[in-house]
Amino acid sequence: MSKFEGKVAIVTGAGGGIGRATAKLFAAQGAKVVVADYQADAGQETVDQIAAAGGTASFVACDVSVPEQVAAMVRHAVSTYGELNYAVNNAGIDPEFTPVADWSLDKFDRIMGINVRGVFLCLKEEIAQMQGKGGSIVNVGSFASFAGVPNKPSYSASKHAVLGLTRSAALQYAGEGIRINAVCPGAVRTAILDDNIGSIPADNAEELVAQNHPIGRIATPEEIAETILWVAGSASYMVGHGLIVDGGLAAG
């Protein structure tokens, strides 16, 4: 029997991309999945796909930057399925490339509000629910958790912050049986990446992005989901780690 059978998992940003692939994988392993997203149609579509495959999932509308909605998301997990064993804090945004001097403060605050404040709020509520019972949390960082990215100052800063939150919370709660780690992808074939590629001024932008990764291609969301599932459920001695999954990009 799968170790996820009957367990309860929250996945934020599960209306598409990496989040949807992760929610589907948890459900395929027998977990009951709370699909959280601020886009209701997209989130419901993930639930429908899980149900069609015989899995168990329910949608909760949640903007991770809003404290009351994050608290309600965790309450939904517990009131619907009885407990919370796993959480994947994946919701994030990555706007188009813009030279640093042209960044607006509004845009900076929006990225920080979702990518940093959102992960912080999720950690706060999920940990409070897991205390005394244990659990495992995976935050989704990025290659940009470890490196600066020209024209993406706030995205890179926000993903560095995700790693800081991950490490600090992990140190605090490792002794209470709550493991907290981050999975940090390179380029993954999702809506975010399509937007980014669209803002690169080159005809062969997609090829350039793929070739920038030593493996020579862009990852699928399912490849990242497999890594998240492994970190969440199997990496039992991994604590406070930022696991880079980037086709070799950071190795250079």
Ligand X SMILES: NC(=O)c1ccc[n+]([C@@H]2O[C@H](COP(=O)([O-])OP(=O)(O)OC[C@H]3O[C@@H](n4cnc5c(N)ncnc54)[C@H](O)[C@@H]3O)[C@@H](O)[C@H]2O)c1
Query: Judged by CB, which is closer to ligand X: 56, or 69?
Result: 69
- 38, 81, 86, 155: the active-site residue: 155
**Contact of 166 with 240, CB cutoff 8 Å:** yes
Closest separation in Å from C-beta 16 to ligand X: 4
Binding residues for ligand X, rule CB under 6 A, total 31
- Contacting ligand X within 145-184 (CB under 6 A): none
Closest separation in Å from C-beta 51 to ligand X: 18
Closest separation in Å from C-beta 234 to ligand X: 21
Residue 81, interface with ligand X (CB under 6 A)? no
Q: How far is CA 79 from the centre of its chain?
A: 23
- Nearest alpha carbon to residue 229 among 15, 16, 51, 33: 33
Position among 93, 112, 157, 205 found at the interface with ligand X (CB under 6 A): 93
Residue 58, interface with ligand X (CB under 6 A)? no
- Cα separation, 154 vs 164, in Å, equals 15
One character per residue 203-232, x = contact with ligand X (rule: CB under 6 A): ------------------------------
Please confirm, yes or no, whether 155 is among the known catalytic residues: yes
Catalytically annotated residues: 155
- List residues binding ligand X (CB under 6 A): 12-13, 15-19, 37-39, 42, 62-65, 90-94, 114, 118, 140, 142, 185, 187-188, 190-193
